Structure 1
Amino acid sequence: MTDLSHFKKMIEARLVELGGRMQDIETELESPKPKDLGDQAIDLEDDEVLEGIGRVSQKEVALLQNALAEIANGSYGFCKKCGGPISEARLQTVLYAVLCRDCAQIAQSGKG
């Protein structure tokens, strides 16, 4: 049986971590830009990387929030495709996993 309180704590901790990361990114993106054109070009490239990291973080936040909702409604830890349990090892690795290992492999291979 999956210990939901353990996973809830892990998800909440990850959300706090991501919130801090996104705040740091926002602060960096809002910082004044240098006057030197060469430095500005480097800053623009850096900003593109930071924006990409921010988008990925936002997507992970949404997935984690969905996982918290699943914990609340009792569906966390069950595969959305076959209905079977998702292993605790998989959930430890991917807190927001919605497919069991077998269904995820089938989906990744394009056969599902």
Structure 2
Amino acid sequence: MTDLSTVKASLESRLAELKGRVERIEADLAEPHSADFAEQATEREDDDALEGQDALLGREITAIKAALGRIEDGSYGECTRCGEPVGEKRLEAYPEAALCISCARELEQR
């Protein structure tokens, strides 16, 4: 099995990186718009894209925090849905995975 301290350090590093990106996005979104109407339209489109990125980052942050919680409580590597092992290769590729591949596929089909 993978060394959990290495996984934890990697997840914590990724979490810090994502939080920094969210802070930069939120700072960009807080900037006032230009007085020029045409420029405002472009800025609003940019804001929409930034808001979409912010939402994606928020979901990833939530998944990483949950994975760190599972490491702390000893359930890391167990599917949160069925209790079976998530799988070593899946966790290597996606360390914040909460579901085994079978449960993940089943939920995707819904």
TM-score of the pair, normalised by structure 1: 0.88
Q: How does 1:1-112 map to 2 (within 5 A)?
A: 1-110=1-110
The answer (yes or no) to whether the contact 1:79–1:99 under 8 Å persists in 2 is yes
Residues in 1 aligned to 2:107 and 2:48: alpha-carbon distance in whole angstroms = 31
Across the two proteins, how many residue pairs are aligned to each other? 110
Residues in 2 aligned to 1:59 and 1:70: alpha-carbon distance in whole angstroms = 17
Tell me the C-alpha RMSD between the 2 structures: 1.4
Aligned-partner residue type, residue 91 of structure 1: L
Residues in 2 aligned to 1:31 and 1:109: alpha-carbon distance in whole angstroms = 41
Give the ranges of 4+ consecutive aligned residues of structure 1 lying more than 6 Å apart after TM superposition: none
Which consecutive residues of structure 1, in runs of 5 or more, have no partner in the other structure? Answer: none
TM-score of the pair, normalised by structure 2: 0.89
* Percent of pairs with identical residues: 42
Aligned-partner SS, 1:35: coil
